[in-house]
Chain A
Amino acid sequence: MKNVLLGVVLLVGLGVVAGCNKKSETKAAGEVVIYSSVDEPDLTPLLKKFEAQTGIKVHAVTDTEATKTAVLVQRLEAEKANPQADVYWGNEIFHTINLSEQGFFDPYRPKTAEDVPARWRGTNDLYTCIGVRARVIAFSTRPEFKGVTTNLPHLTDLGNPALKDKIGFCHPGFGTASGHFASMYVLWGEPKYIEFMKALRANNLKLLGGNSAVADQIIAGTLAVGPTDNDDVSDGKEQNQPIDGVIPDQGADDPGTVLIPGSIALMHGARHPETAKQLIDFLASASTEKELMDAHYIGYSVRSPIPVKAMNVDYTECAHQMRHAIELALNILQDRQ
């Protein structure tokens, strides 16, 4: 027993040294706290650059690949009475709209974003969009799937019986897929939406745990196609994985694809409002957007015409209809009725 106690004392000593190695950092002027669901490898270099330029220390709380946005939003909601974040930077817009309507943000128009069109700004400047990603149909470039993946101009082509058992889609309850399902519902209306869900069900669509999981399964060769975000395809292609993507519905009579803008906002009750505004100014700038495009995290800028035909939907309406769209989809896709 004595030697165990001694061992514990030694371990505690070592642990305290290791755990307290980081200086305890108190929040004072010259600091800012950002909550972000932007991919950590793309976020960190930007924050380091901001720190180097301004000397302001940035504390970043990021979301994980597996829990994109949803968990970060839960945390923001839990902290509403005593906000810890100064800045929120989401990788999509639908949750941002819901949060803005619930009074989470203060109005702020970034000085560097005067050139951002009104379309990409929230009501009363409650948020500003940064960069746009597009929903694409990812497909396998493996030879065994060539016959079924060569002709996918429309999202509705996923209803093609030749693709049975070969399609994946992120669970509509999570990630940007929620917004994608809501957009389809708002654009098409309920009858066509239900019809498409039935076609997907007939094709035995696999609902996966995230957009990256869709790309992972296509890379692994267990699935042939699946809608996901353009950056998931870009990441795979950069790693020479057997995956590619096509932007659906780009024909003259087609409705276009869903565009997913990132969004940044100043938290209501921010403890460091001035440094928060400086960080927002930096992140909403054209140069930051360019860096994100160079890193293939975003596909397009909010400042210039987007060379992709976009689905003409009201994001606010999509955010409001999200839960209904999820329930309708899962009723069919999971045989809940």
Chain B
Amino acid sequence: MKGWRPNVTGLPALLIIGVTSGLPLLWTAVVILQHPGSLADIWLSSFRLKLLASTLLYNALVAMLATIIGLPAGWVMGRNRGWMGKVMWACALGTLLLPFLAFGHGWNEAFRITRPFWKAIGVTFSPGGVSDTARCIWTLASWLWGVPAVIIGLALRRLDPDLQLAGWLDGALYRTTFRALLGPLIAAAAATMMLAAQEFAVYEPTGVRVVATEVRMVFATGAFSSAPVAGADQEQRAAAAILTATPLLLLTALLALLAAKAAGRFSMATTVHFAEWPRVLDAPMWASVLAVGLVVLTLGVPIAALMASLNHMDSPAVLFSEFGGALGGSGFLFLVVGIFAALLAFSAAASWTPGLLVASGISFLLGGEILAVALIRIFNRPGFEWAYNAWPLPAMAYLGRFGCIALLAARSTWSPAWREIRIQAAHDGAGAMTIARRMIWPLAWPVFAAAALLAGILSLGEVDVTATLVPQNPSVLTTLLLTMANASRSNRLVEGSLLAMGLVFVCLFLFLLVRHGLRFSLATFKALDGGSRAN
């Protein structure tokens, strides 16, 4: 707090986090204070200790696997100047854009179709067993590999080429690059692990035990908690559920903190570089081939499995009547969340308010169901119908969950590497707003845009908030897919999943086309403008 002064440029961030994270956290704090007996729920029985250990293990394995898958792609994204690098960027973002429900169902179908093969080699996928848990871990990792790939790609783009060049001259290019990337690698694994911890829906159907299942049970029934057997109201159960989840939240926060420290300590970059790199540092062909192979495996297999399991495809008119409204609604909320997340990042990069990241991090870890219930309790009152029965409530809930991603992106511009830029500009007499507008935003906007995109993407597939709020105006695709998550109605689910995936790729293609067109137009305009001035 020392030296911090409120600044108007930081006001949007303060408002967004205050409403979406601060208010729900205040509600949970009041609920816990009103029911001090629930503090007993923080105690870990031997069962809950094992549950905590297994949850952490599963998520750590997801993070490790996703980082391994993402490494070659990230390398190509960071050190390939041709079309292959661009394709990898599109694939990494495209995979993350896919709603996890649809993607997970694709893998379920893939494992179902290949069951004879697995059976022949003795793998049965008995619910909750080792192979079933491995299936869940693989499904999550094959969805999340884009996170480490993007972080590694960005880190390589920002890496000092001279450092790598020195390593190359010493015959130690890989070792030097690995050391330089150790910080981002740890950060990538930590980010993936935190995201994996939120996607417990993959484990629950087949009975793989994780902390989230226990928390849900406590919240729904009050079982195994301090809430009284008779007459326990929702607030008592909420307090018990929050405190049941607390050990995992604390450990996750601790791991995130350690990862951030490690990332800073191991990072060899003390300044930010944007220079071109020499050709000797290009990603080798074998890395490109490996990256393509892994992308085909992680992205191609589930899509192919969905297509193979489709019994019949309804006419576009039928599909539109069934899914059109929900697709439009999901797209709209994606945009709203993305825009507010971008606003959050730009604002926090201009003026950093202490405590915002902690508040948004806690509301992220709190879990969607409790966050949604807190927002219902806060906003379901006369005079707030405009927010409660329309898009603001789900948008607030999604920002409460994923606003921390935008704040993390903004926080990266307050690191030592960026401090030099700020100090130099301040020496030249620039104020906070000018520094942000002229120096920080133009350099860091791709990171902010990526963070906003990620926040929007995660909102698209978020299950807990969506299942509790069941947004109606607009309706969203996740609700529809959740109602179809049943084997006997799988054709509808497959159709919806393929439609969602198709829409994502069409949007991505259009975005790239528009971006390319705009670049071309601007370049032509500049050339013409320069020509006319010269004349």
Interface set of A (CB-CB < 8 Å, partner B): 1-4, 6-8, 10-12, 15-16, 18-22, 24-25, 27, 39-41, 59, 61-67, 70-71, 73-75, 77-79, 81-82, 84, 102, 165, 168, 171, 173-174, 178, 206-210, 212-213, 215-217, 219-223, 232, 235-236, 238-239, 241, 320, 322-324, 326-327, 330, 334-336
Interface set of B (CB-CB < 8 Å, partner A): 45, 47, 112, 115, 124-128, 201, 204-207, 209, 213, 216-217, 219-224, 229-230, 233-234, 325, 328-329, 331-336, 339, 342, 369, 373, 376-377, 380-382, 388-391, 441-442, 445, 449, 463, 467-470, 472-474, 479, 482-489, 511, 514-515, 518-519, 522
Decide: B468 and A74 in contact? CB cutoff 8 A. Answer: yes
A2 touches which of B219, B514, B522 (Cβ 8 Å)? B522
Decide: A82 and B382 in contact? CB cutoff 8 A. Answer: yes
A139 to chain B: closest CB distance in Å?
15
A168→B483 CA distance, assembly (Å):
22
A22→B391 CA distance, assembly (Å):
12
Q: For the complex, would chain A's binding face be called helix, strand, loop or mixed by DSSP majority?
A: helix
A231 to chain B: closest CB distance in Å?
9
Q: Which residues of B contact A173 (CB under 8 A)?
A: 216-217, 220-221, 223
A297→B286 CA distance, assembly (Å):
56
B212 to chain A: closest CB distance in Å?
11
A47 to chain B: closest CB distance in Å?
13
- Supposing A61-B470, A65-B484, A65-B485 touch, asked if A323 and B222 sit within 8 A by C-beta, the answer is yes
Decide: B390 and A24 in contact? CB cutoff 8 A. Answer: yes
A22 touches which of B127, B204, B342, B473 (Cβ 8 Å)? B473
Q: Which residues of B contact A208 (CB under 8 A)?
A: 127, 205-207
Decide: B483 and A25 in contact? CB cutoff 8 A. Answer: no
Further pairs besides A71-B467, A173-B223: 16, Cβ < 8 Å? A7-B515, A15-B331, A15-B332, A18-B329, A22-B325, A24-B390, A61-B470, A74-B369, A74-B373, A173-B217, A209-B205, A212-B485, A239-B488, A326-B217, A326-B223, A336-B45
B376 touches which of A15, A78, A209, A336 (Cβ 8 Å)? A78
A302→B479 CA distance, assembly (Å):
31
Q: Total A-B pairs in contact (CB under 8 Å)?
A: 210
Decide: A25 and B369 in contact? CB cutoff 8 A. Answer: no
Decide: B467 and A213 in contact? CB cutoff 8 A. Answer: no
A22 to chain B: closest CB distance in Å?
6
Decide: B483 and A323 in contact? CB cutoff 8 A. Answer: no
A223 touches which of B45, B127, B474, B514 (Cβ 8 Å)? B127
Q: Which residues of A contact B229 (CB under 8 A)?
A: 323-324
A220→B223 CA distance, assembly (Å):
31
A279→B331 CA distance, assembly (Å):
33
A7→B518 CA distance, assembly (Å):
9
A64 touches which of B382, B482, B489 (Cβ 8 Å)? B482
B324 to chain A: closest CB distance in Å?
9
A173 to chain B: closest CB distance in Å?
4
Decide: A19 and B127 in contact? CB cutoff 8 A. Answer: no
- Supposing A78-B377, A79-B376 touch, asked if A19 and B205 sit within 8 A by C-beta, the answer is no
- Supposing A4-B449, A206-B127, A241-B488 touch, asked if A70 and B220 sit within 8 A by C-beta, the answer is yes
Q: Which residues of B contact A79 (CB under 8 A)?
A: 376, 380
- Among B325, B445, B473, B519, which residue has the most Cβ atoms of chain A within 10 A? B473
B487 touches which of A18, A219, A320 (Cβ 8 Å)? A219
Closest to B46 in A: A336
Decide: B127 and A222 in contact? CB cutoff 8 A. Answer: yes
Decide: B126 and A206 in contact? CB cutoff 8 A. Answer: yes
Closest to A216 in B: B487
Decide: A3 and B373 in contact? CB cutoff 8 A. Answer: no
15 CB contacts below 8 A, A to B, read: A1-B441, A40-B483, A62-B470, A65-B483, A75-B373, A78-B373, A78-B380, A79-B380, A174-B220, A209-B207, A212-B487, A323-B222, A323-B229, A334-B47, A336-B224
